[in-house]
């Protein structure tokens, strides 16, 4: 099997830890208003966080050094092939394609489509930075893209927290109130994002 497949567990547990850390940070902002709920939720997360850390450490320890070296060689070969094939032009074309692909989704407001928009914007920004493509796009355009993808990320983090709270809400009044507050915040942020997306015009083509 290709060595990169052995990274799957690492990505899985690293992602799980990241979600738990984000949830803890967002919950901390509501500690004063809902102290009992936040304390209970953070306590319930402690064993999950410990397990995720253990699994992540195990996944890293079980990754053979020779496979990591092979992976580096594979990546090096891929980069050499890319450099030999006008990478800047390819990157620019791909960057424009990502921005154009986001346009049909701009009228959407559901979680999946908003997340897809963010992924495409992040890909475009990464390529702009990696290949020095800033001069190919208006400065205001790039700032708007960066601002929008950050807002989408903040919205997505709260969406993850809201989904996490749902199983607990029926059994604890404070958690139910906290869930409603986050839902209202999600709706407000989503309306702001969708309103911003309606003004989206593709200047990358």
- By the 8 A CB rule, do 59 and 5 touch? no
Higher pLDDT, 61 or 24: 24
Summarised one tens digit per residue, pLDDT across range 32-53 is 999 999 999 999 999 999 998 8
pTM of the model: 0.71
Mean pLDDT of all residues in 66-94 = 65
- For residue 35, count CB atoms less than 10 angstroms from its CB and return exposed for 0-12, middle for 13-18, buried for 19 or more: exposed
pLDDT band at 190 (very low <50, low <70, confident <90, very high): confident
Task: Give pLDDT, residue 168.
Answer: 92
- Domain ranges in the chain? 1-85, 87-205
List Cα–Cα distances, 87 to 13, 102, 119, 131, in angstroms: 33, 22, 21, 8
CA angle (150 as vertex; 144, 156 as ends), nearest 5 = 135
Give the percent of the chain with pLDDT over 70.
77
Report how far residue 99's alpha carbon sits from residue 94's, in angstroms, rounded to the nearest whole number. 9
Report how far residue 124's alpha carbon sits from residue 149's, in angstroms, rounded to the nearest whole number. 11
């Amino acid at each position: 099997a290709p060595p990169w497949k052995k990274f799957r567990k690492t990505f899985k547990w690293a992602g799980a830890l990241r979600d738990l850390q984000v949830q803890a940070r967002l919950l901390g902002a509501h500690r004063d208003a809902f102290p009992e709920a936040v304390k209970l939720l953070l306590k319930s997360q402690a064993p999950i966080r410990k397990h995720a850390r253990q699994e992540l450490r195990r996944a890293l320890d079980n990754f053979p050094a020779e496979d990591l070296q092979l992976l580096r060689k594979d990546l090096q070969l891929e980069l050499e092939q890319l450099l030999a094939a006008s990478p800047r032009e390819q990157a620019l074309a791909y960057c424009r394609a990502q921005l154009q692909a986001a346009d049909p989704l701009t009228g959407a407001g559901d979680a999946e489509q908003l997340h897809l928009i963010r992924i495409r914007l992040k890909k475009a920004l990464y390529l702009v930075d990696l290949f020095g493509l800033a001069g190919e796009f208006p400065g205001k355009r790039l700032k708007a893209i960066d601002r929008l993808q950050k807002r989408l990320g903040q919205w997505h983090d709260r969406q993850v927290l809201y989904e996490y709270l749902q199983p607990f809400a029926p059994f604890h009044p404070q958690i139910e109130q906290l869930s409603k507050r986050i839902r209202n915040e999600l709706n407000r942020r989503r309306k702001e994002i969708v309103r911003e997306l309606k003004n989206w015009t593709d200047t990358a083509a």
